[in-house]
């Protein structure tokens, strides 16, 4: 059985659009963090677990400008002076901030199926609306939410109807789809050509704009020099199909796990601390009308341990949740732990 909370046409003001090395849209960790915060507030009243979310963008406006016609974009931002006493003594540099206004939809996956009556359903949707309006999304303020729906399906026919209904609510829009497989394939091709190639070289082939000089040979017998005329052509990306973008998709630990209170100036003294760096990959903005299965668009946390380093990643892996239904049809038990065990 599948169940989703659909937040349709969420208008966000001043959301953070810088994510690691990239800018232009909030990191996917912002949306999974929003999902986790929503679960914590709803769990005080409902027995509910939210396992992931899909992101659909409808409209966006970046707070940037061009100082000159052919210059790079620059962020429109205020230069706020230090306000704390310790900051005034050290005079820290101004940290660059990038903001944007965005209208998007979030499809939240419900791991433990919520069984409610029609009256309880209306109350639940109002409770979700009130909770979302008091939360921040990617550091921005939620101004309005068009619709909130709790949609469920238990049979194959209902699953197809559910997909059609969600797509109808989301259009027109573009959903963010993971394309790490493109990056992996291109990196293997680079390694075959040059064993010294690095993974960042493959990533830059997707994310950087590269030019190549094509010499204009007036005479083939004339040797090429720095004075030779040339036409500069933009190099095509390794995969020309789809609107591909670089994104931040999680974190990688770069230190050991420190016990609670061992590191100074942390958010609290109750939580263990570890230093991490951003992890980047490739994703595609895909028209929502081209999506056949909403389940494949859901981003979920995936923690895995690799030798001496810990990875905290957001991935899109089809979630095959096994269900066990008791003789009482109102009590539905979702074996969520077994689904996580497969990662």
> Would you place residue 318 in the very low, low, confident or very high pLDDT band (cuts 50, 70, 90)?
low
Do 183 and 23 contact (CB within 8 A), yes or no?
no
Do 276 and 312 contact (CB within 8 A), yes or no?
yes
- Supply the pTM of this predicted model: 0.81
Q: Which residues contact 288 (CB under 8 A, 6 or more apart)?
A: 56, 167, 170, 171, 172, 173, 174, 175
Dump the DSSP string for 92-128.
PPPPP--EEEEEEEEEEEESSPPP--HHHHHHHHHHH
Do 286 and 173 contact (CB within 8 A), yes or no?
no
pLDDT for the residue 223: 76
Helical H segments across the chain, by residue range = 28-42, 85-90, 118-133, 156-170, 180-193, 199-207, 336-341
**Pick from 299, 337, 335: nearest CA to 317:** 299
Give the integer Cα–Cα distance in Å for 277 and 81.
Answer: 27
Convert the pLDDT of each residue in 243-289 to its tens digit: 899 999 989 888 888 988 888 888 888 888 889 999 999 999 999 99
Coil, strand or helix: which one is 83?
Answer: coil
Convert the pLDDT of each residue in 152-166 to its tens digit: 888 888 888 888 899
Find the helix packing angle between 28-42 and 118-133, rounded to 10°. 130
Q: Which residues contact 246 (CB under 8 A, 6 or more apart)?
A: 21, 22, 203, 206, 207, 280, 281, 282, 283
Do 53 and 31 contact (CB within 8 A), yes or no?
yes
Give the integer Cα–Cα distance in Å for 227 and 88.
Answer: 53
pLDDT for the residue 7: 93
pLDDT at 326 over 60: no
Do 29 and 36 contact (CB within 8 A), yes or no?
no
């Amino acid at each position: 059985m599948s169940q989703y909370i659909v937040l349709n046409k969420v208008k966000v003001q001043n959301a953070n659009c810088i994510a690691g090395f990239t800018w232009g849209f909030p990191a996917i960790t912002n949306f999974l963090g929003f999902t986790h915060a929503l679960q914590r507030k709803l769990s005080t009243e409902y027995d509910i677990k939210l396992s992931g979310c899909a992101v659909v963008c409808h409209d966006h406006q970046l707070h940037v400008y061009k100082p000159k016609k052919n210059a790079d974009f620059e962020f429109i931002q205020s230069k706020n002076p230090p306000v704390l006493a310790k900051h005034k003594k050290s005079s820290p540099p101004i940290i660059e901030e990038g903001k944007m206004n965005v209208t998007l939809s979030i499809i939240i996956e419900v791991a433990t199926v919520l069984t409610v009556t029609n009256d309880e359903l209306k109350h639940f949707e109002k409770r979700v609306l009130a909770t979302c309006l008091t939360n921040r999304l990617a550091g921005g303020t939620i101004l309005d939410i068009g619709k909130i729906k709790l949609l469920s399906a238990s049979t194959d026919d209902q699953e197809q109807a559910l997909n059609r209904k969600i797509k109808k609510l989301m259009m027109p829009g573009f959903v963010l789809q993971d394309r790490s497989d493109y990056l992996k394939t291109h990196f293997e091709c680079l390694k075959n050509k040059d064993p010294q190639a690095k993974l960042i070289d493959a990533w830059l082939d997707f994310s950087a704009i590269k030019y190549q000089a094509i010499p204009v040979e007036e005479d083939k017998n004339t040797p090429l020099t720095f004075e030779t005329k040339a036409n500069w052509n933009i190099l095509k990306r390794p995969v020309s199909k789809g609107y591909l973008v670089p994104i931040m998709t999680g974190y990688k630990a770069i230190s050991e796990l420190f016990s609670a209170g061992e590191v100074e100036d942390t958010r609290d003294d109750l939580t263990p601390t570890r230093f991490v760096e951003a992890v980047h990959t490739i994703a595609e903005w895909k028209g929502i009308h081209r999506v056949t299965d909403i389940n494949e668009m859901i981003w979920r946390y995936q923690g895995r341990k690799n030798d001496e380093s810990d990875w905290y990643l957001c991935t899109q892996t089809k979630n095959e949740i096994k269900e066990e239904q008791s003789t009482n049809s109102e009590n539905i038990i979702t074996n969520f732990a077994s689904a996580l065990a497969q990662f």
